[in-house]
């Protein structure tokens, strides 16, 4: 399997990626050997030796960085901003209805709105 690497090579890749992200920590190769042996990083046995695929390393690395350095992880989801005054009509969802009902109930409870006005 040519798409596999030793935990030592995986550590080199991880450390390069951490450096590119501005994280000054260097993970020792022994740590990745331990993670492979404990099953934290999924391994494939090739010729009797445990190897790591790029995909399995990427999966572990994403979890590791998200948990250990949450402020360094970039948000990749795109958010579409819709302005209320742009002349379009938004989609009405059950969540919006629930929020509207909660807001009305809050105003009624505070005495700012009577039940007849709601």
The Cα 28–Cα 81 span in angstroms is 43
Confidence of residue 66 (pLDDT cuts 50, 70, 90): confident
Q: Where are the domains of the chain?
A: 4-72
Quick one: pLDDT at residue 44?
Answer: 92
Residue 37: predicted pLDDT: 94
* pTM of the model as a whole: 0.58
Q: How confident is the model at residue 51, as a pLDDT?
A: 94
| CA-based nearest residue to 35, from 56, 55, 19 | 56
> pLDDT digit string (tens) for 68-101?
887 766 544 444 444 445 444 444 445 556 666 6
**pLDDT range class, residue 8, cuts 50, 70, 90:** very high
């Amino acid at each position: 399997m040519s798409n596999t690497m030793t935990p030592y090579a995986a550590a080199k890749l991880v450390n390069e990626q951490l450096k590119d992200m501005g994280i000054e920590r260097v993970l020792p190769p022994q740590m990745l050997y331990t993670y492979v042996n404990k099953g934290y990083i999924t391994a494939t046995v090739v010729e009797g030796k445990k190897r790591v695929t790029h995909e399995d390393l990427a999966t572990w690395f994403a979890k590791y960085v998200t948990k250990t350095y949450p402020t360094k992880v970039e948000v990749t989801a795109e958010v579409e901003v819709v302005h209320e005054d742009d002349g379009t009509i938004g989609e009405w969802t059950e969540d919006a209805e629930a929020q509207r009902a909660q807001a009305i109930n809050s105003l009624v409870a505070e005495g700012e709105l009577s039940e007849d006005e709601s």
